[in-house]
């Protein structure tokens, strides 16, 4: 009698995949991400980068102990990172974006409208079936 690794309770992890979402302009970023996740049956994803501009954005900016919401127009995005999960049709998570003003500044995205050619790169685990 020997040991074996196969088990009916053990399932191998899925394959890691990358996906680039290119916006045409005018789309709300977070709801568009939810649509892509629904269409591709993605339960969890990590945002690994975003490049381009947002037409408008509402951002949560932390300054010391205080945070304030700021509405900006024509926002150049240098980088983005975050994680979102779908559970029972609802999406949970957050995204930090680095914007280019006089100096780069990292903020939390509350909502944003994509400008033409904004590209978001995500990674996710595809289920093995």
For residue 49, give the CATH number of its domain. Answer: 3.30.1330.80
Here the tokens at position 5 are 């690794």
Higher pLDDT, 13 or 55: 55
The C-alpha atoms of residue 91 and residue 45 are separated, in whole angstroms, by 11
Res. 3 pLDDT band, cuts 50 70 90: very low
The arithmetic mean of pLDDT across residues 54-68, rounded, is: 87
Which of 126, 101, 118, 125 is closest to 32 using CA atoms? 118
Enclosing domain of residue 56: 15-126
The arithmetic mean of pLDDT across residues 86-92, rounded, is: 90
pLDDT tens profile 101-128:
778 889 999 999 999 989 999 999 887 6
Q: Count up the domains in the chain and report the number.
A: 1
The C-alpha atoms of residue 122 and residue 82 are separated, in whole angstroms, by 9
pTM listed for this prediction: 0.82
Q: How far is CA 37 from CA 7, 42, 81, 90, in A?
A: 30, 5, 16, 11
């Amino acid at each position: 009698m020997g040991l074996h690794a196969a088990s009916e309770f053990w399932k191998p992890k899925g394959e890691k995949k990358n996906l680039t979402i290119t916006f045409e302009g005018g789309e709300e970023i977070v709801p568009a991400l939810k649509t892509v996740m629904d269409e591709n049956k993605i339960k969890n994803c990590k945002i690994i980068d975003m490049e381009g501009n947002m037409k408008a954005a509402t951002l949560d900016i932390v300054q010391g102990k205080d945070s304030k919401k700021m509405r900006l127009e024509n926002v150049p995005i240098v980088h983005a990172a975050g994680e979102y999960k779908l559970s029972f049709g609802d999406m949970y998570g957050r995204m930090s974006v680095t914007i280019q003003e006089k100096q780069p500044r990292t903020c939390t995205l509350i909502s944003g409208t994509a400008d033409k050619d904004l590209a978001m790169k995500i990674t996710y685990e595809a289920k093995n079936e």
